[in-house]
Amino acid sequence: MKKHLLFSLLLLSVSLLAGQTWIRYYPWADVCTSTYTSATANVYNVIPSLGGGYLLQGYAEFIYESGEYESPVMMTNIFWKIDENGDVVWRRIYNNLSPYNIIVSNGIDRYYCIDSSQGTSFMDVFDSELNHLEHYSFWDQNSFDLQLNDVVLTDDGLVFAGKNYIGQAVILKTDYQFNTIWQGISVSQAYSDGYYKITNTNDDCYYAVGYDILAKYSADGDTLWTENSDPWEYAFYCMTSNTIGTCYVLNRSYDPERWSVVTYNNEGICESTATVELGAIINDGRRNMFELTDGNFIILLASYHQLNKVSPQGTTIWSRSYPISSTGYGAKNMICENDFHYIFCGSGGLGVFTLVKTNSEGMVSNEDHVLNKPHAKISHFPNPVNDRATVRYETDYARGSMEFELYNIRGQKLFSIPTTDNVGSFEIDIHASNTNVKQSGVYYYVLRNGTTKLATGKMVIIK
């Protein structure tokens, strides 16, 4: 009798675990009831939902084209409340001219949604059912403007990381009405993207990171120390910190191309550097890094290997791929749920956003998460490239059309070229305006079919 009971409990626990991991798709194309001829959309954020489950957010634009003219029909943020099983509790829309790049909640009764995508900043406050309560303009509240890229909540306000109007990296604290409480000293940098990530520490301090700047600030915004990268050699791509104040940064160098995990102590002293094998970043989307209770890291990259578990010594414990073409564009596009589940959003197929919930090993129960990569290869000459490049490719992948895409070192797509043959070549004029290549440097390219990445390569361009 006891054996049968134990066996039944084992089956129950396995079935519960299977129900806790999933890949789900959420449609957005039907939110516009007016006539439109084209639409574009991106997923941005997923955070813990008030009352349990998850809040997923994306943004869609619907366009009507007539002859040579086109006009916007609808531009809207779309929200889904998702339960633990991935099922939709409700869907809401809130029309806005641009997407919310940051969403956080106070864990009780408020969502704070920040729109900084156009270089100026606004904040909308919603209740737990996404009823709109307040709207604040950073300019109106403070008589100056900043682009805000990430935020952490405190008991009495919000601490933001971002950049000022001349591209300097800056952090500041506001109250819940967007009034500035303090602002740290701005930091000049080679890249003008400012800080893209901020975390708080157990001693009420803050770490902020940009592509070429890492800094620690006091609870009042005083600069404690800074560390700079050499932007021509490597960049800071992800960051996390732990309860004792140690800061971990994932660096990416360009020549030779490699990744490394660097450990800094509370005083900003580099304690260790470990090389780690990871895939190339070839997509847009935000990146994330979390320290786990076992001392290892979970790293979400916008690349072929989307999710990775890595040790501080640089060992890749596992890498998993999922049916998404890019990670979410928002500052809060991943949840690390007590080391047991990882939840992250991404772009899916036509007219849907994707939400993935894995177990602690990155596995999901209702989809084959490991994508078999088709045989393909791609190359170019000459290298380095001055004026024109010839690209050659071949693949045994036979599902419709493909695209060649070029990306800069920050993972931003510059242009794409469609192709339909399995074997072929074409030329690229580096100086053409539609290539969007502005300066010399290292660039990355990918041969893609939809969400499937067939082959990748690296191109050095000298203008």
List the beta bridge partners of residue 62: 39, 74
Where do the domains of the chain lie? 22-358, 376-461
Beta bridge partners of 56: 46, 80
pLDDT at 93: 96
Cα distances (angstroms) measured from residue 50 to each of 328, 344, 378, 409: 20, 17, 47, 37
Tell me the fold of 22-358: Methylamine Dehydrogenase; Chain H (2.130.10)
Asked if residue 71 lies in contact with residue 354, where contact means CB atoms within 8 angstroms, the answer is no
Q: What is the pLDDT of residue 303?
A: 67
Q: Do domains 22-358 and 376-461 have the same CATH topology?
A: no
Q: CA angle, corner 100, sides to 351 and 281, nearest 5?
A: 70
By CB neighbour count within 10 A (0-12 exposed, 13-18 middle, 19+ buried), where does 357 fall? buried
In this predicted structure, what is the pLDDT of residue 7?
42
What pLDDT, on the 0 to 100 scale, is given for residue 358? Answer: 95
DSSP collapsed to 3 states, 117-138: CCCCCEEEEECCCCCEEEEEEH
pLDDT of residue 173: 97
Cα separation, 343 vs 54, whole angstroms: 9
Under 8 Å CB-to-CB from 215, ≥6 apart: which residues?
169, 187, 195, 207, 208, 209, 223, 224, 225, 226, 227
Nearest to 43 by CA among 110, 111, 101, 105: 101
Instruction: Report how far residue 7's alpha carbon sits from residue 80's, in angstroms, rounded to the nearest whole number.
Output: 38
338: left (phi over 0), alpha (psi -120 to 50) or beta: left
Residue with tokens 């939709």: 88
Question: Of 350, 343, 358, 342, which Cα lies nearest the Cα of 325?
Answer: 350
Which CATH number is 376-461 given?
A: 2.60.40.3080
Paired tokens of 292: 């786990």
Q: Are 29 and 351 in contact (CB under 8 A)?
A: yes
User: Could you report the per-residue pLDDT of 332-377, keeping only the tens digit for each?
Assistant: 999 999 878 999 998 866 688 999 999 999 999 865 444 344 567 8
Q: Quote the CA–CA distance of 301 and 289 in Å, as a whole number.
A: 9
Rounded to whole angstroms, the Cα distance separating 92 from 112 reads: 15
Q: What is the DSSP letter of 31?
A: G
Please give the Cα distance from 276 to 388 (Å, whole number).
34
Name the stretches of the chain with pLDDT < 70. Answer: 1-19, 255-257, 282-284, 303-305, 348-350, 366-375, 396-401, 410, 450-452
